[in-house]
């Protein structure tokens, strides 16, 4: 079956905030982009801005530490890719509920 994903369905994460801006672009404009899910941005906010431990942040989002780490690692990689390769950052979608 083409397009069929295996494994468990992605569970919803609890987020306490959604971004006002959903697109960030280098000054000269960028044709290529990376897409961050809202819950990935929430992981960055909790750990890198609010200085929560990964355990505390995972509890805030209602997920396991492993799931939290996977989302955080993905978010950091995407941001690093955008910053080093001059790509636009687009924030959209995901599987989350607002607290």
Lowest mean pLDDT among 19-28, 50-59, 68-77, 86-95: 19-28
Classify residue 93 by burial, with Cβ atoms within 10 Å: 0-12, 13-18, 19+: exposed
10-47 per-position pLDDT tens digit: 778 899 888 888 999 988 877 899 999 999 999 999 99
CATH code of the domain containing 45: 1.10.10.10
14 strand-pairing partners: 97
Total domains in the chain come to 1
Distance separating the N- and C-terminal Cα atoms of the chain: 36
H-state helical runs in the chain: 38-44, 54-61, 65-85
In this predicted model, which residue has the larger pLDDT, 35 or 3? 35
Q: Which two tokens stand for residue 76?
A: 């950091």
In a domain, 27, yes or no: no
pLDDT number for residue 41:
96
Average pLDDT over residues 72-99: 93
Full residue range of the structural domain in which residue 70 is found: 32-98
């Amino acid at each position: 079956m083409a397009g069929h994903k295996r494994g468990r369905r992605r569970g919803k994460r609890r987020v306490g905030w959604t971004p006002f801006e959903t697109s960030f672009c280098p000054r000269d404009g960028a044709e290529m982009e990376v897409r961050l899910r809202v819950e990935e941005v929430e992981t960055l906010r909790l750990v890198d801005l609010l200085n929560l431990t990964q355990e505390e942040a995972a509890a805030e989002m209602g997920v396991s530490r492993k799931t939290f780490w996977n989302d955080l690692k993905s978010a950091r990689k995407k941001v690093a890719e955008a910053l080093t390769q001059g790509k636009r950052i687009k924030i959209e979608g995901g599987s989350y509920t607002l607290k």
